[in-house]
Every structure is written in structure tokens, then in C-alpha cells.
Amino acid sequence: MQAFAPGIYPRSEALVQATRDLDRGRTSEEAVDERFRRDLDELVRVEQEAGLDLLADGMLRWQDLFRPLLEESDGLAPGPLTRFLDTNSFYRAPTATSAEPRLRAPLDERYVTPLPGPRLVTLPSPYALSRGTGLTATAVATAVLKPQLDALDADLVVLSEPFLARDGAAGLGELGEALTALEGGPRLALQITFGDARELLEAGLGDLPVAAIGIDFYATRATDVPDGFSKLLLAGVVDARSSALEEPQEIAEFVERLRARGVAEVALVPNGDLQYVSERIAREKLAHLGASRTARPKESAA
């Protein structure tokens, strides 16, 4: 059983203060770059000590799920500040400035940082990136996401999808066409974050052309997963919006319930971006996530 942590990781208090100081002219870009490097080194250390199977760079320089891709694309731009789901955080919603968007160049090492081992990369799903722009998911998949994917050296790319569970299963067809346009590159996972995936699972979420599907099991019941689910299941068993720490034995018990439904392959992940908890809590959650890989259910350990 694998474990890893896609998505945006929280910045340390020192890094948050450094970026504020830079905005106010109280520090230098070099000093902030050094603070980013220290945060990344600490994150990699935590991931390695937790025994996570794939390393992630925590997207520490990403202001939100979309911003770097929007800023590096012709025909797309950061739009108005928009509340993210039911959180107290905001993002710049993607806005189309042309009917034919184009990624000018793949993101550089500021946004996809080299790591000392097998890695994952998180990107927005084509549905999320196109939502509200008037563009099709296939258009942004072909002209923006595909060039980025082709430039990546990653063992897994997790496409984060925070909206589809709320918008409903009607968008599955459009998303499926867009995902087909992304084939031929790194192995892909589609992660449904922060939402109940029951309706999507009933409508064929597991049939989409990706290697893995991620489910938020704080919003979705284990019994909603179809019997004999054949793909790698990214099981969202760490609550990224709560400071409460998960117990590895309880996670192990939950995995046994999934296996009883015929789920052959499970990877343990948070149910969304860990940026909604403090960096200290996120560190502890990663440690518990890693320990869950080898934990035994309570009844088995008794």
C-alpha cells in the first residue's frame, strides 16, 4: 500500500512573514528564495521520514491551484478573487481572454522543483481549469495542460478536481473527452477533492481514461465505491481541513473495508490540499499518513 501527499502544502510561519516583508520592501528576493528553499528541504525531510512512496514539492510557490498556468498562458488570465468552496480562502478564478489559449512555455523549476527521488506533480484538472471561462475542457487540456505534461518527469501526475462533485455528473462526459487528449504522457490520477463523489461514481467516474481515481472519504462512504473497483484508488483518509490527527490503526481498518469491496490497489492521501492546516499540523499528518501504510487494524493487532 502506498502513501503520498498531492496538492498545496502550507508554508511555514517564517516563509509567510518573509513574503509579507518582501511585499513591504523590508527584505530581498534572495532572502525569500532562501526561505522557500528551507521550507522545501523541511518538507522533503518530513516526507522521507514518513516513508511516503512519492515525493511532492508542496507547490510552495503556487498562490492557488491555477495561478502559474494562467500567468504562463496566452488567452488565459487570473480573474476576480473568488471564495474557494466553503473555505475562508480565495483564489483568482481563471478567465479567458481568447478563444484559443496556449501555454507559452512549460513551468520552470520555481513551480515544478526537482526532488531527490520518485515524485508526483499536481495540476488542475481540465474541467477545473476551464470552469467559468467559456472554453471547453478539451481546449485547455490540449493547448495548456498537454504541453505541461509532456515536459514533466514524474511518476504520477495528480489532476485536482474540486468542483465536479458539486456541479454534478453531467460534466463527466466533457471531462472524459479532455482526459483522452492528455493520454500518452505521465501516468495520471484524477482526484475529487473536498466533495461527495457518490453521484460521480454511480455515473462512471471509474471508467475515465486515467490510471487512478482519488476520493474524499470524509464526504464519501466506502460503500459508494463500486464492488471490484479495478483502478488504483487514492483514498482521501487524512482530513486536510481539520487539525485533528488521524489514527493509523483506524485508517488501516478503513482500508480493510475498501479491500472487502474488492479494491485491489489503495494509496493513502489527504482528501485535499493540506494548506488549510498549519505547517506544524501538516507535518504530523504526514507522519501519521506514512505510519498508516504498515499499521494493522485494531482487531488484527489485538
Residues 69-101 pLDDT 10s: 999 999 999 999 999 988 889 999 999 999 999
Contact 282, 7 (CB under 8 A): no
Q: What is the pTM of this model?
A: 0.96
If we measure between CA atoms, which residue out of 12, 84, 78 comes closest to residue 46? 12
pLDDT of 88 reads 83
Residue with cell 490527527: 245
Kindly compute the dihedral angle of the four CA atoms of residues 189, 149, 39, 23, in this order, to the nearest 10 degrees.
Answer: -120
pLDDT of 301 reads 47
Least confident among 55-69, 231-245, 271-285, 287-301: 287-301
Residues 7-17 pLDDT 10s: 999 999 999 99
Rounded to whole angstroms, the Cα distance separating 253 from 238 reads 14
Handedness of CA 46, 48, 54, 59 (dihedral sign): positive
Helix residue ranges per DSSP H, 51-90: 67-71
Question: How sure is the predictor about 299, in pLDDT bands with cuts at 50, 70 and 90?
Answer: low
Task: Answer whether residue 241 shows pLDDT above 50.
Answer: yes
Rounded to whole angstroms, the Cα distance separating 152 from 144 reads 13
| Cell representation of residue 86 | 466553503
Which burial class, exposed, middle or buried, applies to 193 when counting CB atoms under 10 A from its CB (0-12, 13-18, 19+)?
A: buried
If we measure between CA atoms, which residue out of 213, 220, 224 comes closest to residue 269? 213
